[in-house]
Every structure is written in C-alpha cells, then in structure tokens.
C-alpha cells in the first residue's frame, strides 16, 4: 500500500518570503500522480498543484512550484512571495494511475503567515 | 454552476443512532468518495465508488455504509457500530483519470 508522509506538522513564514513544505511517499509503482491541496479555515479543499510522475519537469502554478525527485520519492511544495491568504493546512496526496482512483493523503502541514 | 453539495453542514447524533450524510454532484463524474478528517490524521478513505451500483471499502469502512443507486448521489450512513463518529466528513467526485472536486463537508458530533 502507498503511504504519504509529511514530517512538518506546522510551519511559519514571514509575509513576502519563501517557504518549502516537505512530502515523501512510498510506492512500488512507476506511474502515478502527486498533488498538493490547500485547506483554509473554511475547510474547503482546494487543488494547488499536480505532478504526473512520468513528467520530469517540475510543475508550476504562479507562486507555487514543486521539487519532484522521483528516485528519492520526494515531492516538496515551494510557495514564493507568501501572502496572508496562503495561511492554511496543506496536504500532499498520491494517486495511482493503475486501477482505482483513490487519493492517499499525508497528515498535513499547518502554514502560518506572519505579517 | 456544476459542483458537489454536501448536507447538512452540521449534524448531531445521539448514542446508538444511525445518521445519513448526503452528497450530490452535478458534474457528471463517474467516481465518488467519502473521506473522514480528524485532527492530526489527514484524510482517510471510508468508501469509494467508480460506477453506479458498485462501491468498495476504503481504509476505515467499519461502522459505515454507502449506496450508489444514481450517478449523482453517494450517501454515507454512519451506523451505531461506529464507536467514534465525531469527525469532519468530506465527499469528493472525479472523472476517471481526472482531478477531484470536493464538497464543503459535514461536521458530525455525537451528543
């Protein structure tokens, strides 16, 4: 079974600075997807960024980018120019590209933005 | 607008009572999922369904039941066999091979 580990329960960053959230995963598969989701206080889950394992290029969405290291099974999220609205729980998630479509989540990192 | 609707937003259950959480989507998504969220534990999969009239247990299915009689609907029943039901429940849907859309959640509390 796949597992996803987020080793940082809490992180904080000064507004306008850069922060990196860590995620590692364990799988024996070669084709899969990785995601970062944001959950603000409203508790609505919002997709931040998605990475396909067969693509070597790291995904980028505006201020959000990932560092995908397939051999190391690492998938970190970098948030540049942090804004107050970035404060939220961030979840890393894994989805196989074989068989079922279920997402496996990490335990989350709570990000605080310091004004 | 297409989306996924969970109701109610807050639900209170007495000891020994069954309760049903509603999840409806109008996105024409094939697959639907129920997750439970507890502090410090992330989201854990309860049940999922990839096609009408078929569903599979997730990682923590004990004490829960589901049905998938219509493509649009995937209700979750929390039975009296679930000994610790107080949690936040999230429903999601997806096209096969596509991204997830989440509902806004139901907060269930045992009183």
The Cα–Cα gap between B103 and B24 comes to 9
- The residue among A37, A101, A110 with the most chain B CBs within 10 A of its CB, best to mutate, is A101
Residues A6-64: pLDDT tens digits? 999 999 999 999 999 999 999 999 889 999 999 999 999 999 999 999 988 999 999 99
Residues A71-108: pLDDT tens digits? 999 999 999 999 999 999 999 999 988 777 789 999 99
The Cα–Cα gap between A56 and B20 comes to 44
The Cα–Cα gap between B11 and B30 comes to 27
Cβ–Cβ < 8 Å for A57, A70: no
Please check whether residue B52 touches A, CB under 8 A.
Answer: no
Q: Is pLDDT of A115 > 70? A: yes
Distance from CA of A107 to the nearest CA of B (A): 4
Q: What is the mean pLDDT of chain B?
A: 93
Q: Up-side HSE of residue A88: CA atoms within 13 Å toward CB?
A: 20
């Amino acid at each position: 079974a796949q597992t996803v580990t987020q080793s940082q329960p809490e992180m904080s960053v000064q507004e306008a600075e850069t922060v990196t959230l860590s995620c590692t995963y364990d799988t024996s598969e070669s084709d899969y997807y990785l995601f970062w989701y944001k959950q603000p206080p409203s508790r609505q889950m919002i997709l931040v960024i998605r990475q396909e394992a067969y693509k070597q290029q790291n995904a980028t969405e505006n201020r959000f980018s990932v560092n995908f290291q397939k051999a190391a099974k690492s998938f970190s999220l970098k948030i540049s120019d942090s804004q107050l609205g970035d404060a939220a729980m961030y979840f890393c998630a894994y989805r196989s590209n074989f068989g079922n479509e279920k997402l496996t989540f990490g335990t989350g990192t709570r990000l605080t933005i310091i004004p | 607008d297409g989306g996924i609707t969970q109701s109610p937003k807050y639900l209170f259950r007495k000891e020994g009572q069954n309760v049903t959480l509603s999840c409806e989507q109008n996105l024409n998504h094939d697959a639907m999922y129920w997750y439970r969220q507890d502090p410090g534990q992330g989201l854990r999969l309860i049940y999922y369904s990839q096609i009408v009239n078929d569903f599979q247990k997730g990682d923590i299915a004990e004490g829960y039941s589901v049905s998938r009689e219509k493509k649009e609907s995937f209700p979750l029943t929390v039975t009296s066999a679930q000994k610790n039901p107080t949690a936040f429940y999230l429903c999601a849907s997806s096209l096969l091979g596509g991204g997830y859309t989440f509902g806004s959640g139901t907060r269930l509390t045992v009183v």
